[in-house]
Each structure stands twice: as structure tokens, then as C-alpha cells.
């Protein structure tokens, strides 16, 4: 109920901004031969990938496998040495409007000298109303006027999520945003992200080292190894998912075997 | 039963508030006692009461306020010039690698010359009037502000800058919302340090040669062995320094109120 109301305010405000379709369809993402090198070391080695609109994709892999670099390249924070990143809306591309892409970082990266509300409204003019609505959607409406310093780690990450959501992203990139949270807060955040994704229907790409998290949240799990796509697995579990179900456990084990056993024979997915 | 602990805690808070002043009050009391008992000659140290009387006489004749006004004016102009320029160059060099390459080495070389070592040259250049004093104050104040501003800008969290850029901030809005506030704690440290320094330099500048100012008043009193007036001057410097420090702290508490360390 509450979230419905929020969507309405956002749509009415969106009219005053850039020329975009009011519905904000989710974006699709295409990577072609994406390559990135750092000082001679190849971090991403010709990654090809297509993500359909509205899909929730999780990218897993060992630390240093290039999964974060991949996400940063999609976000435009890294310039690829070769290859192409294509983000668009609809079959013919979204006319002259670039799709709204937002990124959530590992750390919340809130400006400590701005209040929670000002942080959410960062880069927007006269968007207090929308920022409040976004805060309400992550359950922090009451903390709008607090400094980030007095929030807990989980609350800060929720503010960062609200800050991304206020832009009505069509592609939301999540770079291990829950990595530093305690187990219970993680579960709460996972549920919140899933609920918001279900309501709003944006395309989501989540980088995580937690296979369980990937299995719980994603439609599709990608494994990156030494800069290449090593596995592309459809999760195919119905939502809402029951945490700790037998199917999840089996899938989790399967993905873990891939991650942990690089020498084992691969089954083409 | 409830009134007991509350009254006790009020008392404890009052005592805690008084604690920093306990030592000065004790010292003054011991000093007054020693003077009354004739252990201290008034040529060495006048009794505190004589200092209070000298203060009263000087302030009722208006002499004190004249000197105080002149000294404050000098401090303000010297501080304004030095700190303003330090802030400006610190911001420019902190933000632009090219400007830093051009200017920083030169400034670091000049920094190593103590401001007081410039006195002979300053007297040759500007004579002994106001310009010389302002120059001395400004050069002394310039470096703490410059260095801390430069360092503050350079050490702004790169992650925050990246985040802000990805949210569409650039140019002036990036500067105003991210870089300046990020550098502010360091800039304020520089200001606080400079405020402490400005009084030291002011004393030296006013004792070189002056027709007015607290330094002049003190030096003049020395000629006539007026130890009470000398002490009034010294205490005024102490009070002014403390006032400057309190106001700098106030600025920190206001501008850095988001930071739990300053609340």
C-alpha cells in the first residue's frame, strides 16, 4: 500500500525532469568482448553477456576474479580497453533518453556532512518529497534529518539504496553492498532489495561473493573466473522463495562446487 | 530519594565545570598571599589586587580600549590577509596538480624561513610602520592555513568523489558539496593554529616599534617600572589568545556538527 503511493508521487515528479517515458521500463544490457587490463594483467578477458530487461542477475566468483571490475565497467566508472557496453530500453533503444543506471557500492559512501535526506536527494533539485518517499520505501522515513554518523551499518546501506532508488533506476548495479553487514541485517536487506525489485521491475546486477545470497535473490547466476564467464546458470526457483529450502541448498552446493573446484570438469550450462 | 542523586550530579557537574579554573585561582591566591607577606617585591611582581586596579584605571581612562582596539585591528588585518591568501593558494594547489607543480616547491622553501628571521629585511622594505607589522603577521599566518588546506583537499575520500560524480555532481557543485566540506576539518585545524600564532607575532611586531597597541603599552610601562601595567598587558594577551581559541572551537563545532568527534 505504502509503496504504491510512493510510486505515484515519483511519477508525478518525474514529469518535471528529463523527457522520459513515465513508465520507466527496465533496461537491457549487452556486453561484447569486454576487456580490461591493469598494468599488463588482464582482469576482464573478452566478456560477452546479454541481460534481458527486468532480470535479476548475480555475478559470483572468488575475490580478484574481476567481478567488481565488470560491474564498474558497466557503470562507466572504468574505461574498458576493448569491447563494448550497451545499455538500452526496448527493441529500438529508448529514443534520445539514456537509461537511468545507478550503482550501490560496497561501502555506503554517504556524505557525512549532509543529513540522511540531503544524501538521498544528492544531485537533484527540489526533490525533497521524492527523497522522503524513497526513504520511506526503505523504512527510514523517521531518520531523514539525522546525520549518517549516528546510523548503523545496515541503515547506512539502506540510505544508499534509497539514494539509488530516488532516481528510478532502470538498471541497478549492486557491488557487494551487503558484504559488511551482519547475518541478520543481510537477510533483511536481501528481502528489502527483492521486494523493491519485484515492485519496480528494474534490471538488477548484483556482484557478491556469497553464493547463498546469489541463490536467494537471482534469476540467473554468472560465475566469473580469471576474467572470463565460466558459468551461466538459470536459477528457476519460484518466488517468493523459501529461505533454506532443499532446492536452494542443492543449487547452492552446485554453484559452490564450481567456485571452489576450478580444476574439475565443467558441464556446459 | 530522587532528589538526592540529582542534586549530587548537579554538584558534580558544577565541580567539573570549575575544575579547569582551579589551578589558576589557586596560583593567584598564593601570589596574593606571598605579596601580602612581603615575600614578593612589587618590582618583581605586583600583588594581584594592584593589577586589578591598574586594569581598572587603564580601562576607565580609555587608554586600554584604545590599545586593545589597535591590536585587534592589526591582528584582524594580518590574519585576514595571511589566512585568506593561504586558503586561496591551498585550494588552488590542492585542486590543480598543475598549479601545485608550479607553486608548491617555492612555497615550501619560503615556509622554512622563520617569519621572525625576516624582521631585518621587513624593516628595510617597509620601515617600521603598519605595513611591516601586517607583512610579518600575514606571512606567519599564511603557512599553517595553506598547508592544512592543501592537505585537506588532497585527502578528501576518493570514494565519495567517485560516488558524487556518478550522481551527476561536477564543477562547482562537486566542490561545494563534497570537496570543500571534506577538507574543512583540516582547514579549520589550520585556522586554529594560525589564530594562536597571530598573537605571538603581534607581540613581537608591536614591541619592535609602535605608538600604540598592547605591545606598546607593555613596553612603555616597562620603561617606567610599572610592573602592574606590564602584567595587565600580558594577561590581555592570554585572554585574547583564549578568546581566539574559543571562537575557533565554536567554528569547528558549528561547521563540523555532523562529525561525532566535534559534538
- Per residue in B137-180, pLDDT (tens digit) is 999 999 999 999 999 999 999 999 999 999 999 999 999 999 99
Determine the residue among A100, A112, A113 to mutate to test chain B binding: the one whose Cβ has the most chain B Cβ atoms within 10 Å. A113
pLDDT of residue B21: 86
User: Which has more confidence, A256 or B44?
Assistant: A256
Q: What residue ranges do the domains of chain B occupy?
A: 62-262
Q: Which three cell numbers stand for residue A50?
A: 546479454
Residue with cell 566508472: A77
Instruction: Supply the ipTM of this predicted assembly.
Output: 0.82
Task: Decide: A55 and A46 in contact? Cβ < 8 Å.
Answer: no
Minimal CA–CA distance to B194: which of B69, B82, B72, B71?
A: B82
Q: In this complex, is the C-beta atom of B169 within 8 Å of any C-beta atom belonging to chain A?
A: yes
Q: Could you tell me the CATH number of the domain that includes residue A210? A: 3.40.50.300
Task: Decide: A34 and A178 in contact? Cβ < 8 Å.
Answer: no
pLDDT of residue A6: 39
pLDDT of residue A58: 96
Cα of A111 to nearest chain B Cα, Å: 7
Instruction: Tell me how far CA of residue A149 lies from CA of A28, A111, A115, A185, B241, in angstroms.
Output: 36, 10, 9, 18, 32
A119 in a domain, yes or no? yes
Estimate the share of chain B in helix, then strand, then coil, as percent rounded to the nearest 5: 85, 0, 15
pLDDT of residue B4: 54
At A198-232, the pLDDT tens digits run 999 999 999 999 999 999 999 999 999 989 999 99
Range of the domain at A222: 2-260
At A37-73, the pLDDT tens digits run 998 899 999 999 999 999 999 999 988 889 999 999 9
pLDDT of residue A17: 33
The least confident of A98-112, A207-221, B11-25 is B11-25
Q: Which residues lie below 8 Å from residue A134, measured CB to CB, with a gap of 6+?
A: A6, A120, A162, A163, A165, A166
**Given this structure, which CATH class describes domain B62-262?**
mainly alpha
Residue with cell 558459468: A231
CA–CA gap between residue B76 and residue B82 (Å, rounded): 10
Q: What is the pLDDT of chain B when averaged over all its residues?
A: 89
A39 in a domain, yes or no? yes
Whether the predicted pLDDT of A235 surpasses 60: yes
Cα of A56 to nearest chain B Cα, Å: 22
Q: How many domains does chain A have?
A: 1
pLDDT band at B16 (very low <50, low <70, confident <90, very high): confident
* Residue B51 CB coordination number (10 Å): 21
Q: Sheet harboring A82-88: ordered strands across?
A: A41-51, A28-38, A82-88
CA–CA gap between residue B104 and residue A250 (Å, rounded): 62
pLDDT band at A13 (very low <50, low <70, confident <90, very high): very low
pLDDT of residue A14: 35
User: Which has more confidence, A132 or A3?
Assistant: A132
List, in sequence order, every residue forming a beta bridge with A205; answer none if it has no partner: A57, A173
Q: What is the pLDDT of chain A when averaged over all its residues?
A: 85
Of residues A76, A105, A112, nearest to B163 (C-beta): A105
Buried residues in A192-213 as b, exposed as e (16+ CB within 10 A): bbbebbeebebbbbbbbbbbbb
A15 in a domain, yes or no? yes
CA–CA gap between residue A220 and residue A237 (Å, rounded): 10
Mean pLDDT of A97-125: 93
CA–CA gap between residue A125 and residue A16 (Å, rounded): 11
CA–CA gap between residue B133 and residue B205 (Å, rounded): 5
pLDDT band at A242 (very low <50, low <70, confident <90, very high): confident
Q: Which three cell numbers stand for residue B75?
A: 591582528
Of residues B173, B258, B260, nearest to A113 (C-beta): B258
At A183-196, the pLDDT tens digits run 999 999 999 999 99
For A167, name the nearest residue in chain B, comparing CA atoms only: B167
Task: Decide: A143 and A151 in contact? Cβ < 8 Å.
Answer: yes
A156 in a domain, yes or no? yes
CA–CA gap between residue A171 and residue B169 (Å, rounded): 20
pLDDT of residue A265: 54
List, in sequence order, every residue forming a beta bridge with A42; answer none if it has no partner: A37
Amino acid at each position: 500500500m505504502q509503496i504504491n503511493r510512493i510510486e505515484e508521487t515519483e511519477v508525478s515528479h518525474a514529469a518535471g525532469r528529463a523527457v522520459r517515458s513515465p513508465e520507466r521500463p527496465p533496461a537491457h544490457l549487452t556486453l561484447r568482448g569486454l576487456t580490461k587490463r591493469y598494468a599488463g594483467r588482464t582482469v576482464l578477458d573478452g566478456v560477452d553477456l546479454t541481460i534481458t530487461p527486468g532480470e535479476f542477475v548475480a555475478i559470483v566468483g572468488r575475490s580478484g576474479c574481476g567481478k567488481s571490475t565488470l560491474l564498474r565497467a558497466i557503470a562507466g566508472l572504468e574505461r574498458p580497453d576493448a569491447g563494448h557496453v550497451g545499455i538500452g530500453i526496448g527493441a529500438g533503444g529508448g529514443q534520445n533518453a539514456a537509461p537511468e543506471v545507478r550503482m550501490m557500492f560496497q561501502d555506503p559512501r554517504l556524505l557525512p556532512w549532509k543529513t540522511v535526506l540531503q544524501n538521498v536527494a544528492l544531485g537533484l533539485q527540489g526533490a525533497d518529497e521524492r527523497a522522503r518517499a524513497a526513504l520511506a520505501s526503505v523504512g527510514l522515513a523517521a531518520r531523514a534529518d539525522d546525520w549518517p554518523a549516528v546510523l548503523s551499518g545496515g541503515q547506512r546501506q539502506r540510505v544508499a539504496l534509497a539514494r539509488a532508488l530516488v532516481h528510478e533506476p532502470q538498471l541497478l548495479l549492486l557491488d557487494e553492498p551487503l558484504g559488511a553487514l551482519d547475518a541478520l541485517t543481510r537477510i533483511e536487506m536481501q528481502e528489502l532489495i527483492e521486494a523493491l525489485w519485484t515492485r519496480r521491475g528494474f534490471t538488477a546486477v548484483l556482484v557478491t561473493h556469497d553464493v547463498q545470497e546469489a541463490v536467494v535473490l537471482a534469476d540467473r547466476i554468472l560465475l566469473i573466473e580469471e576474467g572470463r564467464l565460466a558459468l551461466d546458470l538459470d536459477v528457476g526457483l519460484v518466488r517468493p522463495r523459501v529461505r533454506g529450502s532443499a532446492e536452494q541448498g542443492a543449487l547452492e552446493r552446485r554453484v559452490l562446487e564450481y567456485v571452489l573446484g576450478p580444476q574439475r570438469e565443467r558441464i556446459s550450462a | 530519594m530522587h532528589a538526592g542523586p540529582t542534586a549530587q550530579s548537579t554538584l558534580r557537574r558544577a565541580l567539573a565545570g570549575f575544575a579547569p579554573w582551579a589551578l589558576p585561582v589557586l596560583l593567584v591566591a598564593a601570589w596574593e598571599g606571598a605579596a601580602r607577606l612581603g615575600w614578593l617585591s612589587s618590582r618583581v611582581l605586583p600583588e594581584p589586587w594592584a593589577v586589578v586596579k591598574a586594569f581598572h584605571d587603564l580601562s576607565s581612562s580609555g587608554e586600554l580600549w584604545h590599545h586593545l582596539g589597535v591590536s585587534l585591528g592589526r591582528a584582524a588585518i594580518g590574519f585576514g590577509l595571511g589566512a585568506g591568501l593561504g586558503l586561496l593558494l591551498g585550494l588552488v594547489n590542492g585542486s590543480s596538480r598543475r598549479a601545485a607543480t608550479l607553486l608548491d616547491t617555492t612555497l615550501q622553501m619560503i615556509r622554512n624561513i622563520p617569519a621572525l628571521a625576516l624582521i631585518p629585511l621587513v624593516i628595510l622594505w617597509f620601515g617600521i610602520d603598519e605595513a611591516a607589522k601586517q607583512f610579518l603577521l600575514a606571512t606567519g599566518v599564511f603557512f599553517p592555513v595553506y598547508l592544512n588546506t592543501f592537505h585537506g583537499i588532497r585527502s578528501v575520500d576518493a570514494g565519495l568523489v567517485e560516488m558524487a560524480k556518478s550522481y551527476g555532481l561536477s564543477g562547482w557543485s562537486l566542490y561545494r558539496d563534497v570537496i570543500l566540506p571534506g577538507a574543512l576539518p583540516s582547514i579549520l585545524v589550520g585556522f586554529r593554529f594560525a589564530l594562536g600564532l597571530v598573537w605571538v607575532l603581534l607581540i613581537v611586531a608591536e614591541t619592535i616599534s609602535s605608538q600604540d597597541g598592547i605591545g606598546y603599552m607593555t613596553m612603555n610601562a616597562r620603561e617606567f617600572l610599572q610592573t602592574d601595567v606590564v602584567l595587565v598587558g600580558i594577561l590581555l594577551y592570554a585572554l585574547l589568545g583564549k578568546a581566539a581559541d574559543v571562537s575557533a572551537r565554536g567554528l569547528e563545532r558549528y561547521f563540523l556538527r555532523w562529525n561525532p568527534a566535534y559534538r
